[in-house]
């Protein structure tokens, strides 16, 4: 029995499912999760001494690679002054100013401790600002585990949401409407019926929780037009895409300005952190300036701020995103070629350093329904073949992949070769 297997058995006695976030349990692919002992650069090292080339990157934050010296040194230096103050500190001002500089739509910024907190708070703010209760989200888009966001689409565009999880009262879910991602006509129909009741649209500008699905041309622009017409708040959930697909996030790539933006992952450099911000007029409704309450014991934590500032300073250097995009394109092109050579039908999506692949004969995958129709069995087999060869992919067909600047040409070649050998075995 491997040490990972031993640890997993032990963990299940005191931790529900043996993990602290469900996808880590390998339920969707089967087998025993790999327990990681350390990480450096593009690599993870498990408790049994095996090295993996990592394409999860802690689910997105590790754009610079694991254990980057600038971030590590910033954390060590900050920790020498204390771990948490429960009071304002200079670093949180520096962080807010840096975010506002890089993402101009975020005129004011509030720090929190997770992406879920950020989206939950942004929605509360949108409701308080508009005086409306209903929100609209998209099928397959994940915005954290707040009650009103754990909702899937019912049948028909105007169907009220149904909770995905036990423990979410139907009375909460009834205020959440769902649409098909990339279906602007469906959104327009809902607004024609319910527009005056809708406080906000919340959307991942690039969907990253049904694998990686970019927006269709004019989809985000169309959401902006609809929100302007109905005086509805447009929220971009850039927890995943922020500082990942471009320095200014997906809103810079697609040239669409939201009213509010949520951030996380990269802005913590690997530490727990989140943020939301946007138009000054809206943000001034947050306490203590306004009546919409939001608070957090560890919000603006000095260690997280130090790590995040170091990360943002590093990724602000010239050509960072050009290099990251080129590396990602190189990887995708190589895997695509290998798949074609072995007659394995696949479809690929990429935006900057974020990518996804689908075992599908379809030329394009652009919504959740299409994503769920892909060959999940083939993905499971491929995942384990790659894991055996030291390639660590997300253990779910519905998660995006992430590259880092630490991935070398040799790492990419090793990954492409492993994929070719895995395709031959499918």
Q: Could you list the active site residues? A: 142, 237, 265
d(CA 396, CA 30): 10
Judge contact between 20 and 378, C-beta under 8 A.
Answer: no
Q: Which position has the token pair 């771990």? A: 83
d(CA 89, CA 108): 17
Closest C-alpha among 65, 92, 67, 66 to residue 78: 92
User: Distance between alpha carbon 82 and the CA centroid of its chain, in Å?
Assistant: 30
Residues 6+ apart with CB under 8 A from 116: 143, 144, 145, 146, 274
Task: State both tokens at 153.
Answer: 């689409």
Taking CA atoms, 323 is separated from 179, 270, 352, 408, in Å, by 35, 21, 9, 11
- Segment holding 127, helix H or strand E: helix 115-130
Judge contact between 50 and 390, C-beta under 8 A.
Answer: yes
Judge contact between 234 and 171, C-beta under 8 A.
Answer: no
- The pairing of strands 198-203 and 233-237 is parallel
d(CA 358, CA 379): 8
Taking CA atoms, 351 is separated from 13, 56, 250, 274, in Å, by 41, 15, 9, 22
d(CA 46, CA 52): 8
Task: State both tokens at 395.
Answer: 């253990």
């Amino acid at each position: 029995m491997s040490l990972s297997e031993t640890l997993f058995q032990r963990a299940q006695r005191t931790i529900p499912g043996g993990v602290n976030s469900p996808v880590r349990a390998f339920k969707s692919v089967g087998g025993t999760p790999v327990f990681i002992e350390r990480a450096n650069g593009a690599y993870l090292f498990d408790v049994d001494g095996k090295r993996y080339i990592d394409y999860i990157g802690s689910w997105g934050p590790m754009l610079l690679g694991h254990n980057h010296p600038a971030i590590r040194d910033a954390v060590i230096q900050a920790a020498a002054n204390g771990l948490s103050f429960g009071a304002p500190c200079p670093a949180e001002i520096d962080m807010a100013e840096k975010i506002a500089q890089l993402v101009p739509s975020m005129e004011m910024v509030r720090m929190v401790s997770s992406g879920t907190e950020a989206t939950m708070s942004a929605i509360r703010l949108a409701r308080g600002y508009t005086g409306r209760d209903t929100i609209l989200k998209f099928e397959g888009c994940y915005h954290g585990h707040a009650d009103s966001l754990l909702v899937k689409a019912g049948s028909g565009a105007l169907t009220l949401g149904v909770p995905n999880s036990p423990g979410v009262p139907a009375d909460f879910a009834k205020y959440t409407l769902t649409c098909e991602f990339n279906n602007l006509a469906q959104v327009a129909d809902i607004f024609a019926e319910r527009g005056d009741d809708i406080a906000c649209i919340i959307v991942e500008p690039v969907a990253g929780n049904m694998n990686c699905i970019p927006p269709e041309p004019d989809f985000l622009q169309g959401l902006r037009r609809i929100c302007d017409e109905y005086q509805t708040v447009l929220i971009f959930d850039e927890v995943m895409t922020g500082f990942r697909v471009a320095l200014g996030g997906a809103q810079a790539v697609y040239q669409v300005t939201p009213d509010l933006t949520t951030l996380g992952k990269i802005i913590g450099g690997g530490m727990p952190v989140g943020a939301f911000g946007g138009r000054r007029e809206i943000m001034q409704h947050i306490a203590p300036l306004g009546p919409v309450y939001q608070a957090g014991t560890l919000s603006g934590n000095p260690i997280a701020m130090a790590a995040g500032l170091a990360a943002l300073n590093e990724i602000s250097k010239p050509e960072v995103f050009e290099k990251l995009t080129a590396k990602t394109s190189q990887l995708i092109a190589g895997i695509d070629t290998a798949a074609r050579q072995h007659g394995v039908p696949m479809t690929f999506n990429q935006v900057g350093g974020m990518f996804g692949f689908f075992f599908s004969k379809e030329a394009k995958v652009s919504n959740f329904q299409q994503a769920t129709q892909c060959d999940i069995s083939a993905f499971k087999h491929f995942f384990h073949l790659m894991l055996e060869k030291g390639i660590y992919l997300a253990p779910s067909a519905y998660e995006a992949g992430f590259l880092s600047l630490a991935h070398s040409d040799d790492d990419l070649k090793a990954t492409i070769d492993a994929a070719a050998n895995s395709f031959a075995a499918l």
